[in-house]
Amino acid sequence: MATPKNILLISGFRIFPTNTGGHIRTASITRALARMGYRVLIYSLAARNGDYNVKGSLRSPFRVEHIEPNLTEETHLGLGYGLMQTIGRRLKYPRVWQYQLLQRAIVPARLKQHLHEADIVLSDMPWCPRVRGPWMHKPWFLLSHNLEYRLLEQGDGHFKKSAPWMRAVETAAPQEFTDILACAEEDQNFFRACDTSGARKVPILRGGVDPHSYVAAPGSRERIRTELGIGENDHLLVFAGSTHGPNLEALAALQEFCRAEAAFLQRERVYFLMLGSMCPNAMREGALIATGRVPEVVSYFAAADAGLNPITSGSGANVKIFEYLAARLPIISTHFGVRGTTLEPDRDFLPYTHATLKTAIERFIREKTHLQWRDQAEEVWKRHRSSCDIKELVRDAIAQLPAFG
């Protein structure tokens, strides 16, 4: 790349620091692009609740953070977008308002300035349509995280009612965007079927991660297990997740399992670590331990003996699977939980259903020692690294799109 190109990614919310699987996907992709030599600017239309309370934020309508070389995030701190986001969340209303504002080019002046300066534009999910203006001729790509209309269909209230509208938006996306970066075969097939011209490539850009970010500091395992009161003869299964609906459904099923199988779990010294904001606060109830929101996850992955993915609903691919792989954790998962990957049951992960979780745990305890499972996880990572390392995935995906050349 003779002259570095300027890439502008438009997001509906602040990305860094990452709190959810969606944050991790966007952050990993933009980091990979920056490390490949592109100059990447994330423009986030709305901040997080605490950002609006920072002293002086009312005097400054934006905040710029330099994440790493070639990667910057600018967050719009205008109260208009912030209030709309807060009201929407409290009323449990999807971001239709955001789509309508962007489509009508009702956006901050600085975003328009960045659009003028960009060589390539990425819309982070279909909630961010193209902004009408003199920059419309530029290469503009949709970064798909999943099929949003499927997630809305699985919700209730305003979310479910908005599903047909979102399906129409996603159906029109191949005609609206230069091309689309899909996260899995499901959305790739959908967008290709909706491409009336047949000209879009719709390359798959899976939800990989930067493997170097999942190397824990020496002593992390011992420190975290001591803090949690977990001994080396105990079995700690980690489930990482945010307040995303499918995570909460899976959490409820695990809580019921812990109550029903309390004697078994106590006898076999098995514990479930609920890592992240799916539980609002740190707590402990029998075999179930919750951390609440944590500043980083790598040390907790190091403390765990296996990564658990109990997800049975949703769309797209689960980033947590790629995190487990990069952290060299053996994986216990539902078949649905590994969608969008090339993992094979029994060879690469222990499969289970909600009805067979106890059996899967017994297999994990009895078939191998912790060290043997770790050795197997290392082999699984080596076999699947090419489909999990985000830099390689990004490189392969954009190689199919001439605008990035």
Q: Is the pLDDT of residue 362 over 50?
A: yes
User: At which residue do the structure tokens 């955001």 appear?
Assistant: 98
Lowest mean pLDDT across 177-181, 183-187, 400-404? 183-187
Whether 211-387 and 6-209+390-404 are alike in CATH topology: the answer is yes
Residue from 144, 98, 150 nearest 123 by CA: 144
What stretch of H or E contains 72? strand 71-76
Work out the average pLDDT over 366-389: 95
Contacts of 296 (CB under 8 A, 6+ apart): none
Which pLDDT band, with edges at 50, 70 and 90, does 55 fall under?
A: low
Gap between the Cα atoms of 64 and 78, Å rounded = 14
- Give the CATH number of domain 6-209+390-404; options: 3.10.20.440, 3.40.50.300, 3.40.50.2000, 3.30.930.10: 3.40.50.2000
pLDDT at 57 over 50: no
Inter-residue contact 300 to 308 (CB < 8 Å): no
pLDDT tens readout for residues 249-306: 999 999 999 999 999 999 999 999 999 989 989 999 999 999 998 989 999 999 999 9
Give domain 211-387's CATH architecture: 3-Layer(aba) Sandwich (3.40)
HEC secondary structure over 172-228:
HHHHHCCEEEECCHHHHHHHHHHCCCCCCCCCECCCCECHHHHCCCCCHHHHHHHHH
- Average pLDDT score over the chain: 93
1, 398 contact by CB (below 8 A): no
Q: Average the pLDDT over 154-158 and give the result.
A: 90
Q: Give this prediction's pTM.
A: 0.86
Instruction: Give the start-to-end residue ranges of the domains of the chain.
Output: 6-209+390-404, 211-387
pLDDT value at residue 2: 61
pLDDT at 155: 87
Is 68's pLDDT higher than 90? yes
> Does residue 21 surpass a pLDDT of 90?
no
How many angstroms separate the most distant Cα atoms in the chain?
67
Give the pLDDT score at 56. 47
- Would you state the pLDDT for residue 53? 64
Q: CA 188, CA 199: separation in Å to the nearest integer?
A: 13
Which of residues 244 and 260 earns the better pLDDT score? 260
Mean pLDDT of 351-360: 95
